[in-house]
Structure 1
Amino acid sequence: MPPETPANFWGDMPEEEYYTSQGVKNTQSYFETPNGKLFTQSFLPLNQTVKATVYMTHGYGSDTGWLFQKICINFATWGYAVFAADLLGHGRSDGLRCYLGDMETIAGSSLSFFLHIRNSEPYKTLPAFLFGESMGGATAMLMYFQSPPDAWTGLIFSAPLFVMPENMKPSKVRLFMYGMLFGIADTWAAMPDNKMVGKAIKDPEKLKIIASNPRRYTGKPRVGTMRELARVCQYIQDSFEKVTAPFLTVHGTSDGVTCPTSSKLLYEKAASEDKCLKIYDGMYHSLIQGEPDENANLVLKDMREWIDERVERYGSKNL
């Protein structure tokens, strides 16, 4: 029999012991929304004063556990209180696996948790940032559009999905044919699978770890998911001018999942006065979990410098 997959990517070390070894305190809980229960996590720095909060959203088919939490842990060790939620239909949250038929609702559900924390003691006077990776970038952007003015000090996007690459675009003929079934086919896992994970991860050892995530969705994309992703990408592109918050967006030139055009268009069209674009030559899609350590550390260094500088620049939010 094949060996049983451990509950965590680091192996059998007890969770509390692992997180303490990383310099963070982890808590896990569920948050009720009108659309289902969200699995949520917090990562708080040990022995440091919290200087700001960061709210993180993972990508398609992923979750906030496994390797995504390495991003959360890094930010926590820099003095940030990090909060993350599995999107509906992902990880340990409610919902049909990887069905994203209404991304406004999915984004709004995670946003309700984020704003609950953001407006609570002791965080409501601290700077607050939204972070989204890949499809989580599109979801975080929808959250930004749904948020009250000035809710967020800044936005951070890692290889965001704002422009669908040609090889990912759903066939209009296929969508039309499924559409003729009056919504019955919306949840069908019947769209072509482009095997994205292999195109996202450069480091072969990290690819093995990511591929072994027991909560990763490995089925074919659902009809309604692809229809909705195409709609949301177009909506976001048409709304770039509404972005006024400071932001950092990063992308690799060899990204085989989301094209760097996503980050470049946001940078060119956003109304933000404080905006930053970083393009990394030869890097793949998964800039932090999937690149060799020296590359991942370069991306993390740039993120740390950017967020530290914004916290200093914009200070506390006085309510």
Structure 2
Amino acid sequence: MDPGVDGIIYKEEFINSSRGLTLFTCRWLPEKKEPKALVFLCHGYAMECSISMRDTGTRLAKAGYAVHGIDYEGHGKSSGLQGYIPSFKNLVDDCSEHFTSVCERSENKKKARYLLGESMGGAVVLLLHRREPPYWNGAVLVAPMCKIRSNPYCYKGRPRLKTAHEVLMVSLDIEKNLSQVSLPFLVVHGGDDIVTDPSVSRLLYETASSEDKTLKLYPGMWHALTSGEPPANIDLVFADIVAWLDGRTATEGSRSEMEPKSKHDEQQLFHAQAKQFPIGSL
């Protein structure tokens, strides 16, 4: 556990999944203030959370968010054959199980819940949303894998056949069902990305049934928007992400504050009507 560097607390934990796997999880928390909301990270293929998404977790925690990540089966520090995805459904199940357990903790139940996925993690986010559409308050999709343009892998060696098949089938399924996306979302994509197709991000934006949707294409930028660009470009991308999250979190906060007031007003109206029209007079 990091005791707090630059106002951030970092923690790691291994958990046992319902499928009997040992999965690595990590989280970044604001040190001295209550988090605004929860953000759950879904990393890309052959990546992991604690190193490849450390900057994402740190920046969002500094912006006031509690950020939680998990390494998929066969990725990072989690158990499983390295780089092997026997079932994309199981991968999504593991994320759903962990993320939901965090959301349902007593201190988190009233907090807004956002998903953030990079590359293949964007596909994980969309499948999590499809499973429980009302559960998530929004999503940030960073160069999402809605369709494979060329080689989507950053690993040593060729992908195992089953893994390649699972990834291909998921990308085709997502591309076919873009209209089912209904939650608020922000898509950020490099205009010169040759790994995932920015034109499909535009198609997602145009096709999704979401009423609140934002697309930001960055001309001249490539695939790794949060780590592989010059510092000024990375700062720009994160500024857009934090601004989007802050805007929705403020709205969700106002809504949650209004709900108790609304219930109170309804109760007051009921009691007033009860006095005016006693049951015996009806």
Moved over 3 A (4+): 316-319
The question of 1:16 aligning with 2:6 is answered no
> What does residue 189 of structure 1 align with?
none
Higher alpha-carbon deviation: 261-270 or 289-298 = 261-270
Q: Distance between the aligned counterparts of 1:296 and 1:138, measured in 2?
A: 22
> What does residue 186 of structure 1 align with?
none
> What does residue 269 of structure 1 align with?
207
Q: Distance between the aligned counterparts of 1:16 and 1:117, measured in 2?
A: 20
> What does residue 240 of structure 1 align with?
178
Would you say how many aligned residue pairs link Structure 1 and Structure 2? 256
> What does residue 234 of structure 2 align with?
296
User: Larger Rg: 1 or 2?
Assistant: 2
1:86-101 pair list within 5 angstroms: 86-101=71-86
Q: 1:143 deviation in Å?
A: 1.4
What is the SS of the residue equivalent to 2:214? strand
Q: 1:22 deviation in Å?
A: 3.0
Code of the residue aligned with 1:241 in structure 2: it is S
> What does residue 156 of structure 1 align with?
140
Deviations along 1:46-80, one digit per CA (max 9) or x if unpaired, are 12221100000110101112131110111001110
> What does residue 56 of structure 1 align with?
41
> What does residue 127 of structure 1 align with?
112
> What does residue 38 of structure 1 align with?
23
Q: 1:16 deviation in Å?
A: 2.4
Deviations along 1:219-270, one digit per CA (max 9) or x if unpaired, are 3211011111111011111221111110001100111211102311110111
Q: 1:99 deviation in Å?
A: 1.2
Which stretches in structure 2 are left out of the alignment for 5+ residues?
261-282
Q: Distance between the aligned counterparts of 1:264 and 1:163, measured in 2?
A: 12
Which stretches in structure 1 are left out of the alignment for 5+ residues?
1-14, 169-193, 198-216
Q: 1:100 deviation in Å?
A: 1.5
Q: Distance between the aligned counterparts of 1:141 and 1:299, measured in 2?
A: 21
% same residue: 34
Q: Distance between the aligned counterparts of 2:145 and 2:86, measured in 1?
A: 16
Q: Distance between the aligned counterparts of 1:146 and 1:128, measured in 2?
A: 15
Higher alpha-carbon deviation: 289-298 or 232-241 = 232-241
What is the SS of the residue equivalent to 1:95? coil
What is the SS of the residue equivalent to 1:67? coil
Q: 1:151 deviation in Å?
A: 1.0
With CA pairs under 8 Å and 6+ residues apart, which has the higher RCO, 1 or 2?
A: 1
The question of 1:253 aligning with 2:253 is answered no
Query: In the alignment, is the contact (CA less than 8 A) between 1:22 and 1:73 conserved in 2?
Result: no
Which of the numbers 57, 61, 83 marks the counterpart of 1:72? 57
1:162-311 pair list within 5 angstroms: 162-165=146-149, 167-168=150-151, 197=154, 217-311=155-249
What is the SS of the residue equivalent to 1:123? coil
Q: 1:281 deviation in Å?
A: 0.6
Query: In the alignment, is the contact (CA less than 8 A) between 1:128 and 1:154 conserved in 2?
Result: yes
Q: 1:142 deviation in Å?
A: 1.3
Q: Distance between the aligned counterparts of 1:256 and 1:37, measured in 2?
A: 34
With the length of structure 2 as denominator, give the TM-score of the two structures. Answer: 0.86
| CA-based RMSD | 1.7
What is the SS of the residue equivalent to 2:68? strand
> What does residue 208 of structure 1 align with?
none
Q: 1:288 deviation in Å?
A: 1.1
With the length of structure 1 as denominator, give the TM-score of the two structures. Answer: 0.77
Deviations along 1:192-228, one digit per CA (max 9) or x if unpaired, are xx8x54xxxxxxxxxxxxxxxxxxx423211011111
Deviations along 1:8-51, one digit per CA (max 9) or x if unpaired, are xxxxxxx726xx33321011111211231210001101122211
